[in-house]
């Protein structure tokens, strides 16, 4: 697959980029129209809300160069490892892994900064993945500008596999030999169960080896084994797999975008 994310274009006013002071020459210029006063007030309030945190340190603007060090420290300073994802179809509870500190800290930080709230799932493929986190709405683009544009170094571990219910990050496939992850674009694995001939075909087509312990999981629990070794898995659903099933069955358009918006809210929990 070319990239796990096939969402729609990002849209953001060029003048808004100037306002928040986080733009770069690589950003596309969409419009040079003046920003209304109400829009300026909105962006200033958004910045104030994003910069306000109960965590122990001030947030820098993140870049690929400084993200790893910051997130490792954030992981140590913020011990929460469970989050609750809510949509109109129900609630899913997710556990973040301890052995993927960069990805787990990044997701936790975004949750605590309310980045995901009111964003939509943008790609749903039955028997494969439910994906979100990288909307094209102006509000989300402003959030990303204020948090930063960055990628995460891979934390791909053999024991963290794409079984049903796994949480992983999308990534670019072009010009990304390191397999760096997206900072915002995540997916939950719905997948399917496999029989032995199918697993043998995957090994042949993807030039991979699926050990016996993985074969047993993919034959019984199911998942997406061809993604193993390509993306960082950093969490798993521990309650609400039935809700994931409902989400995977929603009606979508030709680009796999849900026809009826599937809006999310994610919050930290301790249960």
Looking at the chain, the number of H-run helices and the number of E-run strands are 8, 12
Residue 53 has pLDDT above 50, yes or no: no
- Longest Cα–Cα distance of the chain, Å, equals 62
pLDDT of residue 135: 81
- Mean pLDDT on 110-134: 96
- Residue 268: pLDDT band by 50, 70, 90 thresholds? very high
Determine whether domain 14-269 maps to CATH 3.40.50.10420: no
Three-state DSSP state, 152: strand
Rounded to whole angstroms, the Cα distance separating 118 from 114 reads 9
Rounded to whole angstroms, the Cα distance separating 154 from 150 reads 13
Question: Helical H runs in 176-256?
Answer: 196-206, 212-220, 241-248
% residues pLDDT > 70 (the chain): 79
In contact, 227 and 171? CB cutoff 8 Å: no
pLDDT of residue 9: 39
Residue reference for tokens 């140590």: 76
- Tokens standing for residue 101: 């500190």
- Tokens standing for residue 245: 């099933």
Rounded to whole angstroms, the Cα distance separating 48 from 240 reads 34
- Residue 176: pLDDT band by 50, 70, 90 thresholds? very high
Rounded to whole angstroms, the Cα distance separating 161 from 36 reads 48
What average pLDDT does the chain have?
84
- Express each pLDDT in 149-170 by its tens digit: 999 999 999 999 999 999 999 9
**pTM score:** 0.79
In contact, 240 and 89? CB cutoff 8 Å: no
> How many angstroms separate the Cα of 270 from the Cα of each of 72, 82, 84, 108, 239?
21, 6, 10, 13, 13
- Residue 139: pLDDT band by 50, 70, 90 thresholds? confident
The DSSP letter of residue 42 is H
Q: Where are the domains of the chain?
A: 14-269
In contact, 210 and 202? CB cutoff 8 Å: yes
- Mean pLDDT on 206-214: 97
- Mean pLDDT on 61-67: 97
Three-state DSSP state, 64: helix
């Amino acid at each position: 697959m070319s990239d796990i994310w096939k969402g729609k274009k990002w849209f953001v006013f060029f003048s808004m980029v100037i306002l928040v002071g986080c733009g770069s020459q690589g950003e596309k210029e969409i419009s040079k129209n003046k920003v209304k006063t109400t829009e300026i007030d909105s962006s200033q309030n958004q910045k104030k809300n994003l910069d306000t945190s109960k965590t122990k340190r001030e947030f820098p603007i993140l870049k690929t160069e400084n993200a790893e060090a910051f997130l490792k420290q954030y992981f140590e300073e913020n011990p929460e490892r469970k989050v609750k994802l809510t949509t109109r179809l129900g609630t899913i509870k997710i556990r973040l892994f301890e052995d993927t500190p960069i990805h787990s800290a990044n997701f936790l930080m975004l949750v605590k900064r309310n980045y995901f709230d009111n964003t939509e799932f943008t790609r749903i493929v039955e028997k494969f993945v439910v994906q979100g986190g990288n909307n094209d709405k102006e509000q989300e683009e402003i959030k990303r500008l204020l948090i930063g544009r960055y990628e995460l170094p891979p934390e791909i571990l053999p024991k963290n596999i794409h079984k049903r219910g796994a949480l992983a990050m999308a990534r670019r496939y072009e010009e990304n030999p390191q397999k760096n992850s997206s900072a915002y674009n995540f997916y939950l694995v719905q997948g399917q169960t496999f029989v032995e001939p199918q697993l043998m075909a995957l090994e042949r087509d993807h030039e991979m080896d699926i050990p016996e312990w993985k074969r047993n999981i993919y034959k019984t629990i199911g998942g997406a084994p061809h993604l193993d070794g390509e993306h960082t898995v950093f969490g798993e659903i521990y309650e609400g797999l039935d809700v994931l099933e409902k989400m995977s069955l929603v009606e979508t358009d030709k680009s796999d975008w849900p026809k009826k918006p599937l809006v999310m809210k994610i919050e930290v929990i301790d249960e």
